[in-house]
Amino acid sequence: MKMFDVYPLHDVAIVRAEGSWVYDDRGQKYLDMYGGHAVISIGHTHPAWVDAIKGQIDRIGFYSNSVVMPLQAEAARALGRVSGREDYQLFMCNSGAEANENALKLASFHTGRNLVVAFDKSFHGRTSLAVAATDNPAIVAPVNRTDNVIFAPLNDTAQAEMIFRESGQRIAAVIIEPIQGVGGIRMADDDFLRTLRRLCTDYGALLISDEVQCGCGRSGRYFALDHAGIEADIYSMAKGIGNGFPVGAIAISPSIAPRSGMLGTTFGGNPLACAAMLAVCQTIENEALLANATRIGDYLTSRLRELPGVGQVRGRGLMIGIELPFDSAALRKKLLFEEKIFVGASGKTIVRLLPALGITRQHADLFLSSFEKLLGEFA
């Protein structure tokens, strides 16, 4: 059987990785400014993460959620501490789509309502409800389209208020990425986020912050929504919280009381996932990675803004979108094959940087000098 190419982007066989570096099958080293698509938070094969998973698999790799597993409570406490949401409940699953699926379903159960507000260019995953709240015709199948989702323009306060005036009593949830990833590093304004918080509170709807890509410290705060000084009712998470071990989760506000049966999973919260997540939380604290994401992110952003031939540079911390006045594909290819640097993309013209949170100034300078050199060639 031949493997289906999910993202047939790069003809490079990656077999090993360490920190911010990945190695191909011929031993060639690449700087990873893409973080395996925002997944690598504490760094590839971080010793704390490796030891936690190895140690755990020697003790127990799996048991069903029908029993008490102390490691789950420990992992939840660690996530509560690092995120500042110690009073929230944690439900663990296996991916970002599954986290959003459960967040939306829980909002509907909690409110007894069936409408969801999502935003233009949003991406929430590929399971049925998550994809229904996604504004991307290339990935939403006809069967997933539903009248239960209203798409609103991002940062349009008047439209959001109108939607709530007309349908507020039927709205279960607003789901938003504080910084859109797939949509092109588009930022929700802090004022707009605060308006959504107020509307949700006034009308009894839940605010779901999709932090699958922008969360886990990537923006320099644990949750990207923290920059707006408000709290979500539900935070959905994945990617960085496992540093590559498949983990998804939702953090649920104490004002919501899911009854038994509303949320469930076989593999979610398994011991290996808990061990990986616990190691990530501890390392974020031990290595002050939120401060580093802010420091290096600010440095990269300000240096990029000085480069001639670059359009807007958007984002926060180590989630950066560089808008180019041309299709970025050829430049990204040269970055990879000539400069040995991985970056991501959003659409045709945006280069996306999502490196590990422990990236150093030297890594940043390496990227900047290669990027500047190639920009000169494409000018």
**By the criterion CB under 6 A, which residues form the site for ligand PLP?**
95-97, 100, 123-125, 177, 181-182, 210, 212-213, 238
Least Å distance between CB 123 and ligand PLP?
5
* Of residues 164 and 211, the one with the C-beta less far from ligand PLP: 211
Residue number, 97 or 276, with CB nearest to ligand PLP: 97
By beta carbon distance, the residue nearest ligand PLP is 96
C-beta of 204 vs 347, nearer to ligand PLP: 347
SS3 assignment, position 46? coil
Q: Which tokens go with 238?
A: 């994945």
The CB-of-37 to ligand PLP minimum distance in angstroms stands at: 7
In whole angstroms, the minimum distance from the beta carbon of 25 to ligand PLP comes to 25
The values of phi and psi at residue 253, to 5°, are: -60, 150
For ligand PLP, the closer of residues 43 and 183 by Cβ is 183
The pair of structure tokens assigned to 233 is 């009712």
Note every long-range contact of 55-61, with CB atoms under 8 Å and residues 24 or more positions apart, other chains counting: 55/275, 56/271, 56/272, 56/274, 56/275, 57/272, 59/271, 60/271, 61/270, 61/271, 61/272
Of 177 and 233, the one with the shorter C-beta distance to ligand PLP is: 177
Q: To the nearest whole angstrom, how small is the minimum distance from the Cβ of residue 366 to ligand PLP?
A: 26
What is the nearest approach in angstroms of ligand PLP to the Cβ of residue 357? Answer: 17
- Residue 358's closest CA among 38, 37, 19? 19
What distance lies between CA 271 and its chain's CA centroid?
A: 22
Give min distance, CB of 371 to ligand PLP, in A: 23
Nearer to ligand PLP, 60 or 139 (CB): 139
Strand runs labelled E in 56-137: 89-93, 115-119
Question: What are the DSSP calls for 312-367, one per residue?
Answer: -EEEETTEEEEE-SS-SHHHHHHHHHTT-EE-EEETTTEEEE---TT--HHHHHHH
Given a contact cutoff of 8 angstroms between Cβ atoms, the answer to whether 42 and 289 are in contact is yes
What is the smallest separation between the CB atom of 197 and ligand PLP, expressed in angstroms? 19
Between 7 and 59, whose beta carbon lies closer to ligand PLP?
7
| DSSP character at residue 3 | P
